[in-house]
Structure 1
């Protein structure tokens, strides 16, 4: 495939700005959607400081990846797999969650830097990776449902649900019709037009309060930490294993597309920076970052494979982080719009899992189908577990048993490497 600019080429200033804006259009929705979910859980005061810190963290880690890490044109944002861990461990408190991110990030960085990551990769066969990709979407279904029925106390849930249903239909139709950069930035356009439609139908949304500063550093850059219990730590450890696989797949997909050299070194450096980025996320109290697998589509659409095209996007994200007014405006997006766009992103994640399963020949027998189907079903059931049932489990194991993603991954690993290990040809 021919590209206008190679990995290490530096586009002319005008072209650099245009390509940077296109990467920015891809990055902002990724940060807003996942970050907005976690920010909403921080009930003390405004969500603006949280999003400021998250925008700043993503900007700094992105620039570190471009110059020190994998050095590839890869977009970066909050890890949805960590969102699942946060939602399942919310009862332990954010200090314990923050500490889990710090410990998990240190372990990930250490394993990647020492080359031990090669051994862990063997656990994640194509079938297990397909389960990882699809489980993220299925186990976030309760969160998506909460968003699309959230009328902010002024709009009946039935009306917001009908709005979300119609909006989702339009969004998926547009996804099938659009091509190139328009499709790559569809999440951004969906947020803009979805918010405008919501305002037309249901009235204005809350805007940043009068007197919100145009420029200000995010307050509380250091977050409280508390030693997590064994259940919380084990749940996050599994989430970090899945995050590592996601990061690895994203780096290798772009490296393979561009024919990059020294991919072993690039991968180890990239995963190391991701781990250190999660350490910084835990210290600052925000969700950790990961490299996203949608980057090849953006590169193919723009014809620009230069890593330096992401530098303007990183700088713009940092500047946005320094403006409470800008972040406050972005945080005013209605819940149903966030829910629908999150559903669209998760549907893409599920599609990626199905494509991987097909391309790798992961499902050729009945038993191989069970290795994927059983974890998906169990993980989804656990995700919808009523709170009264979850409360009946001992506090030590609750973050594990009530985390649909963790349950699904553990079951997938057991089925793949123990139950059906010696009988892959058995069709039942």
Structure 2
């Protein structure tokens, strides 16, 4: 208790607050834009995102894996949901129908995640995600998310309006300037300022957007309105549900990456019980996400970078930061203000942030001996995933509707191919060492 009256834990907690905020604020805004939600519903999504991200992170630190690792809305899930939003209108599906089936699939994926935790299956699943799979996963995730961010930087709307949208040149030029500012800060600034490059980019970019483009957000009275299934009333589309459950299975890679990646920091190996508790909590909040229209949760691998940079691994500052983030979600005026964040500004900042996925991917590639067999195992899923991302959705109309959402998603296809090829039992062909890096 005495440490609570010490300034240092609160300052470190404030740093965690910035980290939680920067990694969360753009997600509900892009989801709301993709589903063409009114401003008041986007505000509610923001409030719930802040509240439950803080609560999930705190529970993981106190009763889950008990490490200072952010539990937030998963980048893999985010990319899959936005991809489905992009594809739905071309496949004759309304966004409301997509949202309803998405909710059902996310709830089922949450139940699956809880079962993995309670049944102690995590060690068996972890063997599927070796260095080759993680290399392909990180690279394809970067391609998928940065495609979305670049679209936001260009000023092209989400939610099936891409074909009729046009590049907004002033918005694009400002977005490039914001991305340049963030990169310069990350490269040239002092270490203290460098830690907050993303937050600085959001603040500076937002101010420049309002001053130069003068596009003021809609003013809505701040009020938390609890609405179940805001993306659409629960419905059954087997193709969407199947795709979402597959995404839930692949999302387990985030837990393995984040926890095994912090083993060297905490100088201990993640135990089966820690995996069990972590998966159970992630599954619980995934079910909540399905009901409230949020992007499902998972531990953030990017937390490793902050832990290594600051050397602050104690749980108290992390818990304080999580509590402050929860408070931001409870105060409606905060979410009302944050909902006005221009999509192009958030996209520009996150475009720079997620370029680091290339570093993570290359670190995994470096662990692999590049024999001819290994090149095939890496090249087939990597190129197939990237190429499938570029195919027009009309190419997949001949595919049965049950698997069409999955087959048209290059991110999921690439990862599944990688898991299949990496785990076929031929002769020993790669280094035995398996290590998750930040």
TM-score range, shorter chain: 0.7 to 0.9
Structure 1 counterpart of 2:302: 294
CA distance in structure 2 between the aligned counterparts of 1:253 and 1:9, rounded to whole angstroms: 31
Change in 2 beyond 3 A, CA 1:268/1:177:
farther
Change in 2 beyond 3 A, CA 1:222/1:141:
closer
CA distance in structure 1 between the aligned counterparts of 2:352 and 2:249, rounded to whole angstroms: 24
In the TM superposition, what whole-angstrom CA distance separates every residue of 1:284-307 from its partner, at most 9, and x where no partner exists?
A: 221111111222332333332111
Gaps of 5+ in 1: 1-7
- Map of 1:78-93 to 2, 5 A cutoff? 78-90=73-85, 91=88, 92-93=97-98
Structure 1 counterpart of 2:215: 205
CA distance in structure 1 between the aligned counterparts of 2:351 and 2:38, rounded to whole angstroms: 27
Structure 2 counterpart of 1:5: none
Match of 1:93, SS state, is: helix
Does structure 1 residue 278 correspond to structure 2 residue 271? no
- Map of 1:2-401 to 2, 5 A cutoff? 12-46=5-39, 47-90=42-85, 91=88, 92-150=97-155, 157-178=168-189, 180-202=191-213, 204-209=214-219, 212-213=221-222, 216-221=223-228, 226=234, 228-260=236-268, 263-358=271-366, 361-391=367-397, 393-401=399-407
Match of 2:375, SS state, is: helix
CA distance in structure 1 between the aligned counterparts of 2:4 and 2:301, rounded to whole angstroms: 23
Change in 2 beyond 3 A, CA 1:183/1:376:
farther
* Contact 2:26 2:343 (8 Å CA) reproduced: no
Shift in Å, 1:173:
3.1
CA distance in structure 2 between the aligned counterparts of 1:172 and 1:375, rounded to whole angstroms: 30
* Contact 1:137 1:349 (8 Å CA) reproduced: yes
* Contact 2:202 2:346 (8 Å CA) reproduced: yes
CA distance in structure 1 between the aligned counterparts of 2:397 and 2:60, rounded to whole angstroms: 41
Match of 1:290, SS state, is: strand
Match of 2:77, SS state, is: helix
Shift in Å, 1:151:
7.1
Shift in Å, 1:363:
4.2
CA distance in structure 2 between the aligned counterparts of 1:44 and 1:334, rounded to whole angstroms: 15
* Contact 2:68 2:313 (8 Å CA) reproduced: yes
Count of residues in Structure 1 that have an aligned counterpart in Structure 2: 411
In the TM superposition, what whole-angstrom CA distance separates every residue of 1:324-375 from its partner, at most 9, and x where no partner exists?
A: 32112212222222222221232112211111221xx224224323323332
CA distance in structure 1 between the aligned counterparts of 2:380 and 2:308, rounded to whole angstroms: 36
Change in 2 beyond 3 A, CA 1:305/1:42:
same
Match of 2:354, SS state, is: helix
Change in 2 beyond 3 A, CA 1:37/1:154:
closer
Shift in Å, 1:254:
2.1
Change in 2 beyond 3 A, CA 1:122/1:260:
closer
* Contact 1:181 1:301 (8 Å CA) reproduced: no
Shift in Å, 1:200:
3.3
* Contact 2:106 2:245 (8 Å CA) reproduced: no
Change in 2 beyond 3 A, CA 1:362/1:35:
farther
In the TM superposition, what whole-angstrom CA distance separates every residue of 1:188-245 from its partner, at most 9, and x where no partner exists?
A: 111111222233332x2323516x23xx434215656535433223322332233211
Shift in Å, 1:115:
1.1
CA distance in structure 2 between the aligned counterparts of 1:178 and 1:244, rounded to whole angstroms: 35
Match of 1:89, SS state, is: helix
RMSD: 2.7
Change in 2 beyond 3 A, CA 1:151/1:406:
closer
Shift in Å, 1:423:
7.4
Match of 1:150, SS state, is: coil
Change in 2 beyond 3 A, CA 1:44/1:307:
same
* Contact 1:149 1:161 (8 Å CA) reproduced: yes
* Contact 1:250 1:292 (8 Å CA) reproduced: yes
CA distance in structure 1 between the aligned counterparts of 2:98 and 2:283, rounded to whole angstroms: 22
